[in-house]
A and B are shown apart, each in its own frame.
Chain A
Amino acid sequence: MRRSRLPIWITVGAMVFFYLPIAILVVNSFNASRFGTGWQGFSLRWYAQLLHEPEIWLAARNSLLIAVGATALSVVLGTAAAFALHRFGRSRLQRFHYALVYMPLVVPEILMGISLLMAFAATGVGLGLGTIFLAHVTFCVSFVAMTVLARLQDFDDAVVEAARDLGAGWRVTFRRVVLPMIAPGIAAGALLAFTLSIDDFVITFFVAGPGSTTLPIRIYSMIKFGSPPLINALSSILLLVTFTAVILSQRISSPRR
């Protein structure tokens, strides 16, 4: 049966499409030229200059702090939510719960950003790192919950019965059987939450207030008002970090055979 090669060509084309801009960015980060319009020789000066930008380090530190904190809290809330949705899924409470957890995944970020801004403004809460933290937890909870929930749905309930059949009470069963089996799912959720938090711009932009900056906000102002080569260098570093994180996450979460 003769199959059209068209789909394959489109696929290859799509892959090129994905990576071309990134490739050009990385290449340009080593470009000695200021304007990126012509190759003027290999140079590391932009990376060197990055090291002397204290504002960038401050922003990076803030991003990291918030990401770690938001991940920790959202993992706790999200895992509990996933358990509730899995165990009690039929009830009306859980159907409302599911809708509530699902919504942040589909609404555009700008809506979440502006609604939180309104809420903070109306209650007189000062904008800063604290409000950023609260906002990040809010959208991370949904992602963690959905990730863990997907894992729970693959869970073989007979295994829990087997543990009880062999003499283990609820506590031992949870500790020795359930937790180790869902740990990869929780880890995957945590990694997802961490990445989303580090990367978030729109929601953070709305609730950050004048004083505090995170890495994405810094990048944004650099894009608007700063020098392109610096952004290239910073972006390349971030790409490397992300790349490593993705490889790690593939190793951690056991692939389903």
Chain B
Amino acid sequence: MNEFLEFKGVSKRFGSNQAVTDVSLQIRKGEVFSLLGPSGCGKTTMLRLAAGFERPDTGRVLLDGEDITDLPPEKRKLNTIFQSYALFPHMTVRENIAFGLRVAKRPKSEIDDEVDRMLRLIRMADQAAKKPDLLSGGQKQRVAIARALVNRPRVLLLDEPLAALDLKLRQRMLIELDMIHDEVGITFLYVTHDQGEAMGLSDRIAVMDSGRIEQVGTPVEIYEAPRTSFVAAFIGDTNFLEGEVTGLEDTEYSRLEIAGVPDIVCFNDKAIGPGQPVFLSIRPEKIHISRDKPEAARLRNMLPAVVEDVIYLGSTTKYWVRAGEIRIQILRQHSRFFLDEKPIRWNDEVWVWWHGDDGFMLERYREVDEDLLAVPPRKVGESDGGNGR
């Protein structure tokens, strides 16, 4: 039983907008837990429910077994890092950090010691007398972190803390956050729409959409074993092929027909029976491409195809191929470079293949948002092919 921060069936609506619907989560002590999803999915609302700025319409919030749902924010032992940092502009760095301790009426010597400790942690001891308007974005963020951590909260709530920073700074701060977490050992609840941040930092991730949890799992689970088409599409790139289950290959695999191509094999962990419509989702890096026909093997799906697009990216190349009515995206890494190897070019005839284990079937219970799929623009005058979107 190491649930530390727990949401039990919480719902929250704002006017006509149902922000969160019946969400339950258990966050373990000391872990970095991320809420990941597009804007409007309800992740920030969840954070505010934890902090106490919103009260849930239904459900309870528990911290270390204690029900805190009715406590106002100033009485909860949680602290928030705001997206805009919200530093007090009329106070120095030192006074900002000391604020929580002063409100708690701790003795002055104790406050000074703790603040100094924090200043050393964020490496800003020499800026302690500055006011926030003189600090850079990264510095403001560190002060915000110190201001929260100095109170030794049970959980640190982070609301898209890196959103306002530029790319290089974001990468640096991500590493710093990781380091701080290792040093301090506090539970993090991290909200973001950036999957890179979530995947890189978290022990576990909850993917949210439209107020509901789509899936909770480790980064590897989310990536390699998505349970819904939303998760598969939102995280990383993937191919979405529409088809139908035609039969069983054996106990663990099913046979699918995709856009007229029969006998495609796929690992079936979702108990989807014959006759049911599915998405077959395969990540582009799991598909192989070459001019020569590969050997047939059990559970290996092979298709002849024509290359429609090639995008060379240096360490990798993206290919778009068409096999009959199906359009497939392939990502190939160049682990070795052969000077005399003839590169695959437009309109070449190739073979693509992948192992049945590497695809996953997803129920077609909802349409996948077009923006989440990396589909190349249709050529002028071309009609809808029939697979994906």
Contact = CB atoms under 8 A, between A and B. Distances in A.
A161 B73 CA distance: 9
A15 interface: no
Given A156-B86, A158-B86, A181-B89, A164 B72 contact: yes
Contact of B90 (A158, A181, A257): A181
Interface in A153-177: 156, 158-159, 161-169, 172, 176-177
Given A161-B53, A161-B73, A172-B103, A166 B82 contact: no
Contacts of B369: none
Contacts of B148: 165-166
A252 to B, nearest CB: 14
B64 to A, nearest CB: 18
Given A156-B84, A158-B82, A257-B133, A165 B51 contact: yes
A38 interface: no
Contacts of A161: 53, 73, 80, 82, 86
B74 A164 contact: yes
A177 B100 CA distance: 12
Contacts of B53: 161, 164-165
Contacts of A257: 133
Given A161-B53, A172-B103, A166 B86 contact: no
B90 A180 contact: yes
A165 B51 CA distance: 7
Contacts of A167: 74-75, 100, 103-104, 151
Contacts of B51: 165
Nearest to A165: B80
What class of interface size applies to chain B in its complex with A?
20 to 34
Interface in B1-24: none
B222 to A, nearest CB: 30
B88 interface: yes
A interface, over-half SS: helix
Given A165-B51, A166-B151, A159 B86 contact: yes
Given A167-B151, A168-B74, A162 B104 contact: no
A162 B86 contact: yes
B79 interface: yes
Interface in B84-123: 84, 86-90, 99-100, 103-104
B147 interface: yes
Given A156-B84, A172-B103, A164 B73 contact: yes
A210 to B, nearest CB: 50
Contacts of A164: 52-53, 72-74
Interface in A23-64: none
B100 A166 contact: yes
Given A165-B51, A166-B103, A166-B147, A159 B74 contact: no
B99 A163 contact: yes
A167 B74 CA distance: 4
Contacts of A177: 88
Contacts of B147: 162, 166
Nearest to B72: A164
Contacts of B88: 159, 162-163, 177, 181
Given A156-B84, A159-B88, A257-B133, A165 B103 contact: no
A20 B155 CA distance: 67
A159 B99 CA distance: 12
A102 to B, nearest CB: 29
A167 B103 CA distance: 7
Contact of A165 (B73, B83, B89): B73
Contacts of A165: 51, 53, 73-74, 78-80, 148
- Which of A164, A165, A177 has the most chain B CB atoms closer than 10 A to its own CB? A165
Contacts of A172: 103
A159 B133 CA distance: 14
A239 to B, nearest CB: 34
A202 B195 CA distance: 66
B103 A162 contact: no
Contacts of B79: 165-166
Contacts of A181: 88-90
Give the 10 A-B CB pairs with smallest separation, nearest first.
A166-B100, A158-B86, A162-B86, A180-B90, A167-B103, A164-B73, A168-B103, A165-B80, A159-B86, A167-B74
Given A164-B73, A166-B100, 5 more contacts: A158-B86, A159-B87, A161-B73, A162-B88, A166-B147
18 contacts: A158-B82, A158-B83, A159-B86, A161-B53, A161-B73, A162-B86, A164-B52, A164-B72, A164-B74, A165-B53, A166-B74, A166-B79, A166-B99, A166-B147, A167-B151, A168-B103, A169-B74, A181-B89
